[in-house]
Structures are given as structure tokens and as C-alpha cells.
Amino acid sequence: MNIIKTEIPGLLVIEPKVFADSRGYFFETYNSNVFEQHGLNYQWLQDNESMSNYGVLRGLHYQLNPYSQAKLVRVIAGEVLDVVVDIRKGSPTFAKKFEIILSSENKRQLLIPRGFAHGFSVLKDNTIFSYKCDNVYNKESECGINIFDETLAIDWRLPLEKTIVSDKDKVSPSFADAKNNFEF
């Protein structure tokens, strides 16, 4: 596994070592020893999976402390534009966004620490998105930031008329008005 630091503290891209031959391929999606060697001491408590078609936008979601979640995300089938925003007050990269293509072809993963809003746009039909969380879901602490927030100006790489957004995500507050109890 190749663990790559991004310009945002704590946010990591993980590239697996893929062993491919005429039968197909094999790779480790997670190895606690490798993570611990890099000082990444996570205890994953919940695994989630979603299937979405082209045009779906999900996010930007997070849970407030003490129910916040770190996530290890990847795409099993298809392709997404994965986007995170640093919402940790006092962070040198506060309000900075990070974007990465995650796909079944590149097999990259993104390790998202607590204190980030997370979302993705689906770029291929029948995309299966998987993620591990280090805390269980807590509905009362769930929050979001509007995916079309003008200050974030995220290019979701989809034509607006093709986007499919949940009613809940359509009414999420702006970045400036979103609830936030994260400190760097």
C-alpha cells in the first residue's frame, strides 16, 4: 500500500498494490499493520455501501462531535468525483476543498479524518461506493453543507440538468450557516 499525504493535514490518498494476472486481480483494501506503521490507529466500527447511477450527487455530509466519523472510502464498481471540505476551525486549510477521482479502475481510496464534510458525484451508472467509519451513524448529529454553495464553488463535473439530488441535500445550509463544532 502506498499512503500519500495531500496538502490538507490528515487527508490521505491510499493506492493499493494490485496483483493482476489472467485470472483477474487481488489487492488488500485494508491492513491494520500497515496503517499502524504510518501512525494511523483507527478502529473501524461500521461499513457502508451505496449504489448510484450517473448524475447522483451525495453530500456534503458529516456528523457533529462527539459522533463525528473518520472514513475510508473507495469505489468497487464505476467512478465518482469524491470531494471533501476541511471544516476544522483553526486549521491552516479551513474551508479548503480536495477532489479526487475514485474508480474501480484506479482502486484508490481516500482516508478522511474527522472534521471534514464529504460528498461525491457519480460519473458512471451502477457505481458501488464503499466506506468504513470509525464511529456508528447518529441521526441527531447528522449535518450537511449545500453541494451548490457558491463560496465552495465545487465543479461536480456533471451537467446541472442531469444531477439527481435528495430533497434533504437540496435544503442543506450554506457553508457559512452550517453547524460546526470542529477544532483543529
User: What does the pLDDT read at residue 22?
Assistant: 97
Give the active site residues. Answer: 61, 131
Smallest Cα–Cα separation from 116: which of 104, 131, 127? 131
User: What does the pLDDT read at residue 20?
Assistant: 95
User: What does the pLDDT read at residue 82?
Assistant: 98
Q: Distance between CA atoms of 3 and 6, rounded to whole angstroms?
A: 10
Q: Distance between CA atoms of 84 and 148, rounded to whole angstroms?
A: 14
The answer to whether residues 116 and 62 touch, using CB atoms and an 8 Å cutoff, is yes
Q: How far apart are the first and last CA of the chain?
A: 27
In the DSSP assignment, the letter for residue 125 is: T
Q: Which domains, and CATH codes, for the chain? A: 2-170 (2.60.120.10)
User: What does the pLDDT read at residue 74?
Assistant: 98
Q: What is the pLDDT along the chain (184 residues), one digit of tens a residue?
A: 999 999 999 999 999 999 999 999 999 999 999 999 999 999 999 999 999 999 999 999 999 999 999 999 999 999 999 999 999 999 999 999 999 999 999 999 999 999 999 999 999 999 999 999 999 999 999 999 999 999 999 999 999 999 999 999 999 999 999 999 999 9
The answer to whether residues 70 and 40 touch, using CB atoms and an 8 Å cutoff, is no
Q: Distance between CA atoms of 78 and 96, rounded to whole angstroms?
A: 26
